[in-house]
Amino acid sequence: MNWQDQPEAFLRSLFERAVASAQPMLGLRSLLPEAPPAGKTIVLGAGKAAGAMAHAFELAVQQRWPAGSHVEGIVVTRYGHQPPRPAELPPQPRIEILEAAHPVPDANSEAAARRILALAAQAGPDDLVVYLLSGGGSALLALPADGIDMALKQHITGQLLQSGAPIEVINCVRKHLSGIKGGRLAQASATARRLTIAISDVPGDDLSVIASGPTVPDASNCAEALAWIDHYGIGIPESLRERLQSATLETPKPGEPLFQHDRHLLMATPAQALRAAAELAEEHGLPAFILSDRLEGESSAMGRWHAQVAHAVQAGNSSLQAPCVLLSGGETTVTITRTDVRAQGGRAMEFCMGLARGLQGAAGIWGLAADTDGIDGISDAAGAQVTPSTLERARAAGLDLPTHMHAHDGHGFFDALGDLVRTGPTHTNVNDFRAILIV
């Protein structure tokens, strides 16, 4: 793929390389224990990559462990994110794959969590419990704490998602309303050996944030959760406020003996995916610079900042020199303040609208932003691309960028231009991917 002749296709190839590098089939086999336990292996998991991780685990067991090794389990993934079963595996799965809603949990999220918690409780001292976790697990594995109903949890989750709160804040609250997050799933299998294998979709690869940390101790507390609820103006019943104030919903903490023998392994991260894309660019003779794998902030503002950096590089006012490609990852946010707006799209498309506005049709600069799970917010696309002709083509089509930005309608804007990036579910999730080509 020649970046000089086909810049848009070249950026798409960098995104595809990043996604391919994070596929569970590539990394899980090397993380499997050398031998099965004396008892049974119970596999439990949640996330957008959970189905692919379950298949990869079954295949690794088939290749490395003795025939007849006892493996059973349940994982839950997003609706439509269950991958085809590999032909190398027998038709009858050892690990059942369930589906539920994301980003706001539903009844199937709760039903899956109850089944997973019950199976974890069956593990004994001779057994190994393997947890397969990836981004999206917080919504997919949703079991309200005793005395909290799903409708209240859905309301609070929805309000937090629209508030622009960073993922660490959202998960702090989720953990203290949950009967399974924040280390509580590990508590259910207290006497067994435990191994967590995770695909990171969070800045800094913090295991306590991935899927709201169901298998690791939680350093946050009830007081913090209540403070964040109040900070973002979310109304809650007085009974819940009292339970948070009295710390009756507290989570297991670091240093507790429960966790001292647990193992936690990362099989794919945002940084690894960006490095894979950078290597591909350099194979084509184009210098690649990774700005960061953990950028956070308002998506459209981050798009404008990337535009400023690209302008500086192109003008020679930077330590970086064109031609080059700038890469970044992380998890930006979209704050929706109007009640009459139903956003169409997500963080990546919001970023691209900010980028287009910042670039103002500058010649020689192209951009792409997409979610590595293949779905960007409320959309059937992963993200979008920005070209030097984006604004000119928008004007010709009667599209007003500020209007679409005000409505958080990145999908409508880029769909009308034919500039959406569509992949379908990718069966992995290492968060946002952004690439800016400067010539």
Q: pLDDT digit string (tens) for 216-235?
A: 999 999 999 999 999 999 99
**Whole-number average pLDDT of the chain:** 95
Dihedral pair phi/psi, residue 230, rounded to 5°: -70, -40
Could you give the percent of the chain with pLDDT greater than 70?
99
- The contacts of residue 141 (CB under 8 Å, 6+ apart) are 46, 76, 109, 112, 113, 116, 180, 181, 185, 211, 212, 214
Note whether residue 377 is domain-resident. Answer: yes
Note whether residue 208 is domain-resident. Answer: yes
Q: How far is CA 274 from CA 21, 252, 294, 326, 435, in A?
A: 9, 34, 11, 10, 9
The answer to whether residues 253 and 401 belong to one domain is no
The answer to whether residues 260 and 321 belong to one domain is no
pLDDT grade, residue 283 (50/70/90)? very high
The answer to whether residues 353 and 430 belong to one domain is yes
Domain count, the chain: 2
Structure tokens at 373: 């799970």
Q: Domain range spanning residue 120?
A: 32-268
The answer to whether residues 300 and 428 belong to one domain is yes
Question: To which H or E segment does residue 280 belong?
Answer: helix 270-283
Residue 83: per-residue pLDDT: 95
Could you give the percent of the chain with pLDDT greater than 90?
90
Region of poorest pLDDT, from 8-22, 150-164, 252-266: 150-164
Please give the model's pTM, rounded to 2 decimal places: 0.93
Classified as helix, coil or strand, 139 is helix
How would you classify the pairing of strands 193-199 and 128-133? parallel
Pairwise CA distance, residues 181 & 170, whole Å: 12
Mark which of 268, 298, 332 sits at the end of a domain: 268
Note whether residue 131 is domain-resident. Answer: yes
Residue 163: per-residue pLDDT: 87
% helix / strand / coil in the chain, to the nearest 5? Answer: 40, 20, 40
Mark which of 234, 268, 302 sits at the end of a domain: 268
CATH number at residue 36: 3.40.50.10180
The answer to whether residues 245 and 117 belong to one domain is yes
Closest CA to 140 of 187, 181, 191, 177: 181
Note whether residue 98 is domain-resident. Answer: yes
Mark which of 227, 248, 268 sits at the end of a domain: 268
pLDDT tens per residue across span 29-46 = 899 999 999 999 999 999
Pairwise CA distance, residues 277 & 404, whole Å: 30
Residue 153: per-residue pLDDT: 87
pLDDT grade, residue 1 (50/70/90)? low
- The whole-number average pLDDT for the span 360-386 is 96
pLDDT tens per residue across span 295-350 = 999 999 999 999 999 999 999 999 999 999 999 999 899 988 776 667 789 999 99
